[in-house]
Amino acid sequence: MASNDNLQLFSKALTVFCFIVFIYFFIPDSLSTFSNLLKYLIIIATIVILMFYNKVLGEFTIPELPSQNPSISFDISTIKSKNSTKDLYENLTSLVIATGTSINPNCKSAIYIIDPIKQVFTLQEGKAGEFADVISAGNIQIKKYIDQNKKLHQKDHPDIWSELFFGQNWRGSECAIFSPIKLHGNIAGFILTSIDHFTDATDNEMNTFKKMGEFVSFGLENLESLDKHILGEDSKSLILEILFNLDYKSDAQNIFNQFKYLLRTFFQYDRITVSVRKETENRRKHDKGVISIIKLTDGEKDEFVEGTEFPTNGSLHGLPVVNGISIITSDWRNSHPNISRFKSSESESNYKSVIAAPIIIEGECRGSIVLERFEERSFTSSELKDLELIGQVLGSALHWRYEYEKIHNNATHDGLSGLLNHQTFKERFNDEIQRAARFQQKMAVMMFDLDKFKNVNDTLGHQYGDYVIQTTAKIMIDNVRAVDVVARYGGEEFAIILINTTAAMSNMVAQRIVDNIADYEFSMDGVEARLTISGGMSEYPTHTESIRELIEFADKAMYATKKQNGNGITIHQNKLNEDDSIS
């Protein structure tokens, strides 16, 4: 408000000043004394106007950010000050918070970032009113939990708990998990997750929450790197727009295709090839990465299309991967006479000028971007710097994609069996119900429960029980189609949705699962066991269109099987008590 008032005063003063100048130019020579007086008045007014101008201008200029604490080499405000970068940062943090909820619906997460001047952690993302707005960075006990990524139990440290969360009627079973966010080796913040009951925080979830902190850390470091690179604002905005619009839920090829548009905008070329190391599981560690695979091509076509494999060593396109050095040459055959483009057996090509940069993922060269021209007109050093930046940004995008895939997999899959977890199964079930309704299709819903599984845990131990769960899960996956949905519903109970089929048609699949488990010789550490499984089935929409009732009907049918000594499958009938049949 004060700035607007000063601006109005400045406008009035300027108007008066212009009026005085106007009078000065038209005053007659006979009034020389009055003319001299006006001259001095104009000089004084000019000085006043300039001072006033500087004052108003200062009020409408964003103040310079305060200097940082020397121990913290990064200030998050420098990233968030740019609108486009801020959007990407907020997209990143929102993704992490949403992922935390999908990992465990009973958890709540927040992101804190350090204020290096005030030496406090401030709430950046999370529900206000549940988490503290600021947390002291000097609290030694909290720092210990951040550094060690440990669980904090409410009943053990109610004083620390009250500093982190607003007061409620705590039961004492709650716990919190800290996931550190690091930049350049320093703690820049953390993700704080509260869970209603400490038993819900499994080791698998602990590891996933830790990955979430690393995910944010990596993203912020790359946003900072992008801000520091000397680029025009249009170019920087274009890169940020590509990153912002990337769909990390889709496959990696989508990311490569997005970067094709970016490369077309930045460079002129006859051919572009993007390739990455093929990570094999060979028994010798040094065998890894000896083969590269082409992920993207654009421009002139030849025998080396997307999906083609070539030796990383001894090839021009593998050179940035092997030595981590960029290439810029007007005649690559003269500058690199002892290597081929891809393979020694390749056909002769007419490419001369080449520019290439490595794709950097987690500080390691994992691939290359190579631009080729037929003419000897060399690429510029400025273009090389831009290509190196794009190699880093592409590496960052791929890393985010891989990390998101791991986090998402942990959030949606059961850690022991590898099947979909209970929560994700319900979400998928809802999706499949909508799809079936849209296309007027039927579905078979199966519920399975291992017979007398408690005896396995009691007599053979929980490790043996885990082995049985894992083996049963594999048998189920092996006996259904890729489009079908298989989940661990809880404990020793499993759920399967067979898409676009009836219960009667699915009976053969269900019986095959039952028979394969009964015939399987479970053996671990020399201890053998035999188990059976009971199943029940319902059908959409024949029996009901309700998800809850479909599961309930299949579950009741499964217990009807157990009453008949198990090891079978029962299809629900509309009159369950009278017409249940065991196949």
Could you tell me the pTM of the whole model?
A: 0.54
User: Average pLDDT in the 509-517 region?
Assistant: 97
85 in any annotated domain: no
The reported pLDDT for the residue numbered 492 is: 95
Confidence check: pLDDT of 327 > 90? yes
For residues 317 and 258, membership in a common domain is answered with yes
The residue range of the domain holding 121 is 97-221
Please provide the DSSP assignment of 62-108 as one string: PPPPPPPPTT----HHHHHTSHHHHHHHHHHHHHHHHHHHHH-TTEE
| CB of 231 closer than 8 Å to CB of 126 | no
Q: Could you read off the pLDDT of 408-460 as tens digits, one per residue?
A: 777 788 889 999 999 889 999 999 999 999 999 999 999 999 999 999 989 99
For residues 24 and 139, membership in a common domain is answered with no
463 in any annotated domain: yes
235 in any annotated domain: no
The residue with greater pLDDT, 572 or 170, is: 572
Q: Could you read off the pLDDT of 182-217 as tens digits, one per residue?
A: 877 788 888 888 887 766 666 666 677 777 777 777
Q: Could you read off the pLDDT of 474-492 as tens digits, one per residue?
A: 999 999 999 999 999 999 9
For residues 290 and 199, membership in a common domain is answered with no
**Cα distance between residue 366 and residue 386, in whole Å:** 18
For residues 260 and 312, membership in a common domain is answered with yes
For residues 274 and 140, membership in a common domain is answered with no
| CB of 271 closer than 8 Å to CB of 300 | yes
Domain final residue, candidates 206, 221, 236: 221
Residue 173 token pair: 């079973």
The reported pLDDT for the residue numbered 11 is: 54
Report how many domains make up the chain: 4
Span of 18-22, 306-310, 498-502, 519-523 with lowest mean pLDDT: 18-22
User: Average pLDDT in the 121-130 region?
Assistant: 80
For residues 432 and 384, membership in a common domain is answered with no
Confidence check: pLDDT of 133 > 70? yes
Sign of CA dihedral 560, 562, 565, 571: positive
CATH number at residue 484: 3.30.70.270
Confidence check: pLDDT of 102 > 70? no
For residues 449 and 404, membership in a common domain is answered with no
465 in any annotated domain: yes
The residue with greater pLDDT, 126 or 245, is: 126
Confidence check: pLDDT of 6 > 60? no
For residues 361 and 449, membership in a common domain is answered with no
